[in-house]
Structure 1
Amino acid sequence: MGRKITVAASTLNQWALDFEGNLDRILQSILEAKELGATFRTGPELEICGYSCEDHFYESDTFLHSWEVLAELLTAPLCKDILIDVGMPIMHKNVAYNCRVIFLNKKVLLIRPKLTLCDSGNYRESRWFTSWKKIRTVEDFYLPRMISTITGQKVVPIGDGVISTLDTCIGFEICEELWCASSSHIPLSLDGVEIICNGSGSHSELRKGYVMVDLVKNATMKCGGCYIYSNLRGCDGQRVYFDGVSCIALNGNMLSRAKQFALAEVEVVSATIDLEDIRSYRNMKRSNAHLASSSESYPRVFVDFSLSPEHDATLPFARPIVWDFLTPEEEIAQGPACWLWDYLRRSGQGGFFLPLSGGVDSSSTAVIVYSMCTLIMNSVHQGGGKVATNTDQKLLADLRRIVGDPEYVPKSSQDLCDRFLVTCYMGTENSSKETHKRAELLAQSIGSYHMSITIDRVVTTCIDIFSHVTGLKPKFAVNGGCPRQNLALQNIQARVRMVLSYLFAQLMLWTRGRPGGLLVLGSANVDESLRGYLTKYDCSSADINPIGGISKTDLKRFMIYAKDQFKIDILEEIIDAPPTAELEPLKEGKLAQTDEEDMGMTYEELSQFGRLRKIDSCGPFSMYCKLVHTWAGNLTPKQVADRVKHFFRCYAINRHKMTVLTPSYHAESYSPEDNRFDLRPFLYRANWSWQFRAIDKQVAFITSVKRQNADNSQNSQKKSSDTFGNLRTGVTV
């Protein structure tokens, strides 16, 4: 009797509405699964159409083309004699469902809709889909004629059912069902389902990776069984990046896993398991065995097919592996880099243009592009510079198309960076020699095509036009100007840089004899966006921003990591330099302006404000109530109140800037992206009168309590002192 089976999980870099490319990648994954000896293959969530179709799920075309792709899969000779599970949207009784479709040898066996939808953070699934409410129930689904012609079936089961083969039973979860409080894998396991697969679309976020691993391991540790987790990889048309990490677990142990970040569009992992290990593990858990005896049964769809070979004695079974988690610094080095590569090759552009100031933000953006070049080099030059796999051939073809050279093979990461990245230091009379030098040395280290220009003439011309019309000439504050004049003179420098960035981005490849244009990269970090510490339509306005979801604190840690990882010595000097916009006049040739002084708060404080505002859902009053204890050792209640009020005033008056925020790689759980990840208004009452009064009352109360406690303490000490004195003199009280 067969007892060993080989199963496969597919990691796919799908793209919303790219039906042709998505089909090719699904077929490639099936081919690789069969080559690994697998008899069952599962894939990511909505892999046929792409996860981020969003309002395209309202279009009948999206459903039609998904069925057409399924028809191609059903008729593909490659799909013979392997049980296949794919994800696609399906309309049933005029209701759209996010579904898994399980088929074998031109027969659709089961359509399994998603039971629990995700509507938090980056996700709005219930805007397009409905959850299946009929638990442990299936009903008839009438197949489209194009599918019936292939399968000979008119009706197939749809609903919360499982597949029963000759040797085992397979059940299904879809993404959120693993994360929610009422996961399906528990009742499935108690009903004897031995293999549970999860087609997922889970995005990358700093410090999040361990959560999924913990959920999968615990699912199989509590109930026993094999759990197959398949996740999307890549940027499928949105700010999020799906980080892959498909894996296979058995009885609480990880057996196999895919890479967290990689340029490969298809990665298949497999594991050979012994079904008897599941049965023994479950039988020994006596409490679960007693629960199983009374569990409700799932509808079973029987298929005359065995996942295990008739003679399996020679099959080696998988051993547990140790999961090595990436540090946040490694996640920053790899995640945004992969996101940039996806965006570049799918946008049809020829590279990136970056205004390089020599500060931490723009420098870290440049280093992330260099990290992307390094990842490409590592993929192309595998073993003596020879391209090894079909995936690498595809990557090399994309690379040659982008650089416009059909014979190009990069010699080094610096060589590639010279082709991909144009950097430009845009100095003014307010710029320091130090930042100019740091920008040049960094560009030399990474190999970017670098320029240094002075924009004073353009700025002066803009100011002269204003003066000609009004008869007035604005001045900086140090020269006697008012705050409005001072701010306007800073903003015009920043906005001129944005205009020049797009001019150079559109024409630089023309000057170098190459086709196409460049994508302008932004470099405003998540904390500056949250505070609104940026000029609207300045050089933070760009096509995409790889660091827009990363905090200043994490960026500095990344730079420390990158200095050693990529051997870029100048990064140490950049890290140590005080952050500055360099938009106000220098004082005796030295900086007179720093970011933290301008903002009235530190970057560390900004991170705390952001986490409390978004993650803990704090308004002004509740934020004060938390911070008054957190900062009690350093600040008085009044000082904490002043900082909280200052943050919320700045947040309110600058919130409108989020409506034009450059699309950014999502990395931080307190990202302020307007109407995407952060659904808050952009017009506020800036004085927060009611909320601030509540803070003032709380400050007064805490102050009075502290004063009363101090008085009581003094009285107590005096009384103790008097008592001690009386005892020494023999006087009784």
Structure 2
Amino acid sequence: MTLQNKNDYGYIRVAAAVPQVNVADVEYNVAQIVDCARHAADAGAQLVVFPELSVTSYTCADLFANEVLLDSAEQAIVAIGEATARVDIVVIVGAPVRADGHLFNCAVVMHKGKILGFVPKTYLPNYKEFYEKRWFTSYNLVRNQHEITFNGSSYPFGADIIFDAGRVKLAVEICEDLWVPIPPSSIYSINGANVIVNLSASNELIGKHDYLVNLIKHQSEHCISAYVYSSAGYGESTTDLVFAGNAIIAENGSVLKEGARFEQTSQLEWADIDIEALNNERRVNGSYSDNLAQYAREMHHVSFDWPATLNYDETRLCRPLKKLPFVPREESRLHSRCEDIVNIQTEGLMRRLHFTGIKTVVVGVSGGLDSTLALLVATRAFDKLGLDRRGIYGITMPGFGTTDRTYNNALELMHALGITVKEISIAAAVTQHFADIGHDMSVHDVTYENGQARERTQILMDYANKTGGIVLGTGDLSELALGWATYNGDHMSMYNVNCSIPKTLAKHLVMWFATLASTTTPEGLKIHETLLDVLHTPISPELTPADAQGNIQQKTEDLVGPYELHDFFLYHMLRYGYSPRKLYLLANLAFEGDYDRKTIKKWLTKFMWRFFGQQFKRSCLPDGPKVGSVSLSPRGDWRMPSDAAVRLWIKECDELPQ
């Protein structure tokens, strides 16, 4: 077994090849296969998968009963092994293989010229355009056979083999195997395989391709695995069918790479699979392991050394990488995602109001992003419940750092939404409080800032008591991760609809509300214009005085770092358990041209310090709805001791190059 190269960051590179073939022209097909395998190795791939029966072509039909073709196919397997003996790549080809009076539709797994094993097809389609049982024997009929003799030597044989290279555990299924209710890949995965390959010959039909892609995506997600699919293409017989060639690489529900169809030349696609993320996901998902109780099988493990891994400090990662992992790329998906998220927030608040019988809520409205979003969700909940919006008490509480821009936006938005508007200045109360505790008003330290935040929370809580309502929290997921909230100040509420909303997503949710606002009425136009201005306002708690021009001076991202970086770190650390080294690698790739390595290292280190040091605030969070795969609720997704040491993570940050 090869030890993990720390510079591979848990990735492996896999390829799906669709060689041009000639029907029954084995020598030609071998040349195409070898050429594709070498090109895959040159691209850094450690595994390349070819289509079903690629050595002979799939559409040989009754020629599969001819000894000339079968002899040639077996010689071809040997020839491919010899031709790739000096190439450090796992090669998997499809070929007809004779054994004990049967003919099997097999995948042949080879590495450095050595045959690791033969995997026969289990489910042979024999309906409509398919007649495979006319020529081949199903593995189901010979399940007790675990070896075959080939070219004078014995080799592992069966559809119960896991090719085991330590952290990479490879298994094979063939075409129709995927289309049955419980595919072999499901059994393989439950029993440890994390990379599934499928050698296929799937002809084209109207609508079939979309179904196929979804099938592969869903199977990779159900299995929490990589899925590498290669299907026959140009050169197969078109007597009755057309094979367009599909090369698809998926990982845990996402298609990483998909090749073009209907090409007249050989095709090769490759992508990097995150084995570390897959293995982490399986460890976290207890139900996945529980499936073993029902589907545990005796698997035959064939051990081998995985090909030399790539150094991703020097090799560019080949997989999609988003700057904003919480935000969908496609505009159409973004709109529907925003609607779903807002509905979750709204439903959470509606249920809390319905259960308690409460018909009023109190929201502190600052004119900033988060309080705006919470207010919009509250109006939506009241509308759906049939409650009068005047039961929403929006309170703006200007203080020493409040600017005209945020103050005016808060008032204009509340009036346009038709809620009850209150203005309560905190200046006098905070000034008296500072006098009581002996704090110098000219010292703008943590006491100066937190005193204002806690005064605002006290007003909200007391006003909720006065009106028989609840205080609606506004703090978001990004702030909770960084601890950018005053303990028992804005940190506290009676229900927080934003607790699972990262800052980078909140902007899109407010924009979604802005697009819904009708611009044909004065109120709708005012809502639309105000929301757009909120989106362009610098993020700030406004707890220190404005500058000489009356503009926001205290900008959050200048103090704790860009939220797009912190949301990137947060998503990948919580979702996949990535180390600082891996976060640093990915951030440098995703934000290339936006931030230099020194800046990314600085804010990554800051993120680690704050994430660990501020856990005590997250250990006592108010209730609020989970909306995505990443959440910090101490009652659900994230249970972490408040006194955990950050030493290991900071040490790794300190060792990062820049």
TM-score by length of 2: 0.47
TM-score (norm 1): 0.42
